Amino acid sequence: MRSLVSVIVPVFDDAEALRRVLDAPNWAGAELIVATAAGDASVAPVRSRRPDVIWTESDRGRARQMNAGAAVAHGRWLLFLHADTRLPPDWPTAIDAAERDPRIAAGCFRFTLDSPSPAARLIERGVRLRVDWLSLPYGDQALFVRSDIFRAIGGYAELPIMEDVDLVRRLRARGRLFRSPLPAMTSARRWERDGWLRRTARHLALISLYFAGIPPDRLIWLDRARATHPGPPARRMYL
């Protein structure tokens, strides 16, 4: 019998992406949780037609919202899914494989982009090298983690940026990282909007500065998409 998986989707002002996620046909046996931001009325039409979903609300901020979703989750595994990322149909087999090895604390899927551009293939290769060499997946690879370990380390630190990197670094101290070969497909719309080279260069600059010790509340101003994130940085919500 498979362990229950809680799929937590943080969303802000992106009801169409959320609708596509929830309408995917491969959620049988999973607990679906949508973590919305306070005051986000855009999800109301989706919420009204999906009473089967658990809905939570918190102050805006991806880390805060994912912690709020985790707080009401019942699964042995928590899978954090960005609204613009699609899991493969057979995604539960990755959780099954991780479950069989008690040394594994968390896992991720293989990063892919939904674009035929050669630039997308180069970015995918770069991500695979980062994961292979540094054991450092990002949140757009649909991170999944044992719920008891997630709670034991205090969940996501409430950072305005790099919350996924911070979580992975702490998880690695608690066990191994499982790398599924199954693809999690992320929308390329932000790369297409910002420019392939420009957005990739910004990502590299952000991670380099983060590892150089620049605090996330300063780095956030280099990420245009999240620069309006409110509230204090670097506080953990202990679940």
Question: Which spans in 76-195 are helix H?
Answer: 92-99, 118-134, 147-152, 163-171, 189-194
Cα separation, 198 vs 196, in Å, equals: 6
Query: Taking the model in full, what pTM does it have?
Result: 0.91
CATH 3.90.550.10 fits 5-117+136-187, yes or no: yes
Q: Give how far Cα 103 sits from Cα of 5, 45, 98, 111, 177, Å.
A: 18, 42, 9, 23, 9
> What per-residue confidence (pLDDT) applies to 224?
54
Cα separation, 177 vs 214, in Å, equals: 26
Cα separation, 62 vs 156, in Å, equals: 9
> What per-residue confidence (pLDDT) applies to 231?
43
Contact 17, 11 (CB under 8 A): yes
Q: Is 16 exposed, middle or buried (0-12, 13-18, 19+ CB in 10 A)?
A: exposed
> What per-residue confidence (pLDDT) applies to 237?
31
Angle made by CA atoms 63, 113, 65, in degrees to the nearest 5? 15
Q: Kindly list the domain boundaries of the chain, sorted by start residue.
A: 5-117+136-187
Question: Considering only CA atoms, which of 115, 97, 117, 76 is closest in space to residue 176?
Answer: 97
Mean pLDDT by 10 residues, the chain (239 residues): 83 91 89 94 92 94 96 97 95 96 97 97 96 95 98 96 96 97 95 93 92 89 56 35
> What per-residue confidence (pLDDT) applies to 28?
86
- CB-CB neighbours of 187 under 10 Å: 18
What H or E segment, with its residue span, contains residue 46? helix 44-48
Largest CA distance in the chain: 46
> What per-residue confidence (pLDDT) applies to 2?
55
- CB-CB neighbours of 51 under 10 Å: 8
> What token pair was written down for 183?
């693809």
Residue with tokens 């409430």: 158
Q: Is 41 exposed, middle or buried (0-12, 13-18, 19+ CB in 10 A)?
A: exposed
What H or E segment, with its residue span, contains residue 210? helix 196-211
Backbone angles phi, psi at 91, to 5 degrees: -55, -35
> What per-residue confidence (pLDDT) applies to 206?
92
